[in-house]
Amino acid sequence: MNPKSVVSLLLAVVAAPLPLPGGPRVGVLLMDRDLFWAAAGRGAEDAGRATGAEVVLKAPTQANALSQQLQLLAAFEGERLDALVIGPLTTEEFRQPISRLKAKGVKVVVLERPLPEGLGNVFLGYNQAEMAATAVKVFAGMVQDGDEAAMLRANSLERVTVRERTLMNDFKKLRPKSVLHAEIMVGATKGDDFEQCLRLLTAHPNAKAVCTPFSACSMAMIRALRERHLAGKMGHLAFGSGLPPEAEQALAGGAMQAWIAQRPWSFGYKGVQAAVDLVNGKSLPATVDVDYVVVTKDNLTSPEAQALKN
């Protein structure tokens, strides 16, 4: 090999990006540790093992704990990170700390709730309006125009969510003569879901169908309907994570008519996978949609529905 070729080869080797020893270090900060986010956390850890990334998982110990989540984010600021995967409880409160992380070169993948433009490299989440619009068509089919229906709401830090707003607005369009009661909330205190489900059933005994838009209250409503001897008598549309045995049994027995199944494990897995891709210099779309499945008694035994149990 002539001297010029040797020099060219050496320059190419020096210019080539070096692999990160031990894989990138990815911080994962979730909204809480219950149901959906616990499963997302397992997915994030599995993605770390699959990609060789070091995943550092943090989450508040209770729902809607904004100050605790901000404290955990501040702790991440003091650590060495190559990427951050975060499901922020709110938006504006995270602007400054995430801007500081990005200034250090940290790649940011945002889950579930979009942050102000430019803060995240990639947003990964459900198309909430589309998912709710699909669900409410099923829900409206459970009642006749003029019937009463009811919906539990989350005690959200940012008030009415996109999912809730779409459910309420579209229900009114589909059933203009019906009333959708939506004044009872869950999540004000940890573990109040069952109590609030019973409160809703007591407050609205004439409701022909009930919608539970979040995992914890959906599981609690299955139990509440059973204990009040309303299972199979009152329609139930629920949103939830995967396909737990209680939901499968309720669908099979007619106590629930539809389960809007989200894939939280996949949510966490794809979040870390996207973070690793960004660190490795791959180009990704600004928004990545996560899919969901509408499970009913008719498709309960399908491979797609059964795969939700894994």
pLDDT of residue 12: 36
Q: 26-30, 81-85, 142-146, 288-292: which has the minimum mean pLDDT?
A: 288-292
CA-to-CA distance for 144 and 166, rounded, in angstroms? Answer: 20
How confident is residue 309, by pLDDT bands cut at 50, 70 and 90? confident
Dihedral sign for Cα atoms in the order 111, 117, 122, 126: positive
Instruction: Report the percentage of the chain scoring pLDDT > 70.
Output: 92
How confident is residue 17, by pLDDT bands cut at 50, 70 and 90? very low
pLDDT of residue 188: 73
Asked if the model's pLDDT at residue 8 lies above 80, the reply is no
Give the residue with greater pLDDT, 20 vs 52. Answer: 52
Mean predicted confidence (pLDDT) in 215-222: 94
- DSSP letters of the chain? --HHHHHHHHHHHHHSPPPPTT--EEEEE-S-SSHHHHHHHHHHHHHHHHHT-EEEEE--SSTT-HHHHHHHHHHHHTS--SEEEE--SSSGGGHHHHHHHHHTT-EEEEESSPPSTTS-SEEEE--HHHHHHHHHHHHHTTS-TT-EEEE-EE--TTSS-HHHHHHHHHHHHH-TT-EEE---EE-SSTT-HHHHHHHHHHH-TTEEEEEE-SHHHHHHHHHHHHHTT-BTTBEEEEEEES--HHHHHHHHHTS-SEEEEE-HHHHHHHHHHHHHHHHTT----SEEEPPEEEE-TTTTTSHHHHGGG-
Instruction: Please check whether residue 172 is in contact with residue 203, taking contact to mean a CB–CB distance below 8 angstroms.
Output: no
Asked if the model's pLDDT at residue 161 lies above 90, the reply is no
Asked if the model's pLDDT at residue 15 lies above 70, the reply is no
Instruction: Tokens for 146, please give them.
Output: 């003029």
The structure's pTM equals: 0.78
What is the residue-averaged pLDDT of the chain? 90
